[in-house]
Amino acid sequence: MITKKDVELAGKLAKMSVSEQEAAIYEEQLRALFGWVDELATVNTDNVTLTNATLAAHVRKDQAVTDEQAAANLRAMFAQELDGQAKVKKVL
């Protein structure tokens, strides 16, 4: 069950200021959302066949790169590399 305290915590984690009025609205909306998710969880999908049309959904992260030139081109876009990986600036 979603509570006002949960909404306040979510706001704090998102670094958002949430007023009392907004907290009440978000609480109601989140309860409805999670209620819908609970309802979906009860659906029997045992005999459902996956029909996802996007290849990206089926690519595993542990699959080896097969196009070395494309990989080299991507690595060249970054100014620095660390242990064979592109080094990026800190996000936070």
For residue 53, the model assigns a pLDDT of 60
| Of the candidates 2, 1, 4, the residue with the CA atom closest to the CA atom of residue 20 | 4
What is the value of pTM for the model shown?
0.49
β-pair type (80-82, 85-87): antiparallel
Check if the beta carbon of residue 86 is closer than 8 Å to that of residue 75: yes
Per-residue pLDDT of the chain (92 residues; tens, 9 = 90+): 889 999 999 999 999 999 999 999 999 999 999 999 999 999 998 998 877 666 666 666 676 767 888 878 887 888 787 777 777 777 76
| Of the candidates 27, 19, 26, the residue with the CA atom closest to the CA atom of residue 3 | 27
For residue 59, the model assigns a pLDDT of 65
* Domain layout of the chain by residue ranges: 4-41, 59-87
Distance CA 23, CA 19 (A): 6
